[in-house]
Amino acid sequence: MKKSVSVSILSADFLELKNELDKIEKSNADMLHFDVMDGVFVPNISFGFPVLDTVNKYTDMHLDVHLMITDPLKYIDECVKFGADTITIHLESESDTEKTLDKIKKSGVKAGLSVKPGTPFEDAIPFMDKIDMLLIMTVEPGFGGQSFMEDMLDKIAAAKKYISENNLDVAIEVDGGINNKTGKLVSEAGADILVAGSYIFKHSDMNEAVSSLACL
């Protein structure tokens, strides 16, 4: 079964962002993954809504926005305004999870829920009927280029089992250290969407890199 590929622009060359976007569009990638970090929820600051707005005006690709911020509820309207197609929040954030997911859904975009490596899948179960996508982190969020945490495979498998047993229409997205080898592992465990940045942008052939993940 073909996997969806979400290309993380955190690893792009921002001096050449237009050219990078052109190359992504010509590949077989399905989405652009957009990491928003506030320097508080995670120990790094990335980019915000002006970049999202600019990218949205340039491309028609699905914008997969991952909010690694302390209080995502405050920023849902801005995410929607500037082009997000999917908005993923963290279970561990300070916002009320149910209220935030409800606001995302009422805004007419897809809702995602993410869990850090240290958070068990079971903590997400109360919200599984409110989301379109579960994002399982296979690195500690905050920086690109980290090594894949293989012990997260059991969490992916547990989530897949729960989704299947409860007949839920929820995709599993996996982010962190994804390449053609780790992508195979998470795909076998149950992942539907693979987020990759460093692997794709550092590859000599972006089309080949994306295809190597999509066909897993």
Report the catalytic residues: 35, 175
Residue among 180, 152, 175 nearest 66 (CA): 175
d(CA 178, CA 138): 9
Contacts of 31 (CB under 8 A, 6+ apart): 4, 5, 6, 7, 61, 62, 63, 64, 85, 86, 193
SS3 62: strand
Task: For residue 3, give Cα distances in angstroms to 15, 34, 125, 161, 183.
Answer: 30, 19, 24, 18, 10
Length of the chain (residues)? 216
Radius of gyration of the CA atoms of the chain, in A = 16
Neighbours of 110 (CB within 10 A): 18
